[in-house]
Structure 1
Amino acid sequence: MNTETTIDTPVLLVEEPEEGIALLTLNRPRARNSLSEALMAAVSKALDGIASRPDVRVVVLAAAGPVFSAGHDLKEMTAHRADPDRGRAYFSDVLGTCSAMMQRIVRLPQPVIAAVEGVATAAGCQLVASCDLAVAGAAARFCTPGVHIGLFCSTPMVALSRNISRKHAMEMLLTGEMVDAQDAARFGLVNRVVAEGEALAAALAMARTIAAKSPLTLKIGKRAFYEQLEMGLSDAYRHASAVMVENMLARDAEEGIGAFIEKREPNWQGR
């Protein structure tokens, strides 16, 4: 497991609190869970390990401390302005690493649920937007504040604009203002808002519901969802129809339909 170079505390906690559920907890509370190189590497490594595990059906992503994530570690990045190229190569590498981590979440076979308490800003907001689902505590807040420091949140924009309406996305990106949990739900950035401090419990409850489904069906459905989003309407329908035919021929679909007709619980085999 990756650790910061200056301390012994793991930057990411990886647990399995219940059968079929993996819990990843960002663990840099003193640094506002900013996405350091070590933290991004740890998240990416954990996701790569989970991707090949059929026994893990859902992933919950949470954070230790009062802040979900303050985005990139600006101290780490600023230190490289003294490089001969003023940090160009380093910035490119770090942003590429972050983008790859976000895409790992989207491409992970298992659904990922963000449990958000406190503030999620910049790449932290991008992280929430990259997850398939999100639950927010009532005091959670979200923003893309780059414009305040002369740095447009261009990479967070990619995930944000694929979650919420254009005008809401542009409002967040151009003003840099905080959005409260209720508005985040109204915008579509989070699925639901629960009492402060209850986001993790609610996310685990949602994960429990999803984990009871066929793991093959979850994998097929998540992949098809993101694939068809990038297509025109006709191509999307053709693709979805082809996916559904293959899904219908799977053992779990046959079992699920049979169980429904026979009024019994299905026995999923993941094939």
Structure 2
Amino acid sequence: MKIITDNLTHIEPLTLRFFFDKSTSSKVRQGFATFAIDWFTSQEQVDPEKWRLCEYRYQLESADEPEVVTVYCELMPEGEVEQLAKAVRLQFPQIKELRLGEPFIKNKSLDIEWIELPAREVVINKQRYLVSEFSISFSAITLGQFQKFMNNTEHQPRPDSFTRTGYTVETQLERYGDNPQVPLFGLTYDDAIAYCKWSGYRLPTDPELRSFFDHTAELSELHHEWSGINWTSTPAGTEQFVGRDGPYSPLPIDAEDSCTKPLHKDQYELMDAPVFRVIRH
């Protein structure tokens, strides 16, 4: 059984979506749901202090994913996802995949979804910037969108030359699955620029990206997609550029901006596996 990380895994309760490898009866799904809850209960009995704040429940099916059993766990202790997965593998080998978090946007098209932003002033560490109106991709560039670029240009991502051929996409598939709508993590600044040159778009400046994240934080009806740290075109030193983390909750106007850090243009791995959004001219 493969463990895949989807969206919003940092939000409580943690969502665990178990996928069967073929159509199953409601009786089988109910049996698995009961097994999962019994597993949580037994863990709590063994170590009540570790599990004392946890709450858990299940949902047998949804209109979007009828062959999925969803389990929710509030404040799940670290490392226990893997232990649950191990127990599931033994008792329910027909479960092929465990996806953590909520699904990403279900837009089946590889077309970029644009959001129009009005002109506004942003304040970054007490420095004021007047940002003109612009259009930005709502999601970071996805696996499918970047693969389309690679197929049309034979571009090889920079990490592939550092590690091994095919490293970038293989790592994405291993960690997040083959959903073409998932943002592609682990691209260098040069990869982002190469995509922009091919597509005719450009990277946002840091004030523009701050404006976008502030705007989305203010609109509760928008489905926020965490995407990690994003490349910007704003220099931050020799061969370095500002990376901005987001989306995030609204920041007070005079608050210290702790969502940025300088990234070397060849950064691609570890905790700062960058993504990028683009702006339409």
Rg larger for: 2
Q: Which has a greater percent of helix?
A: 1
Greater RCO, 1 or 2 (C-alpha within 8 Å, sep 6+): 2
Q: Which has a greater percent of strand?
A: 2
TM-score calculated relative to the size of structure 1: 0.24
TM-score calculated relative to the size of structure 2: 0.23
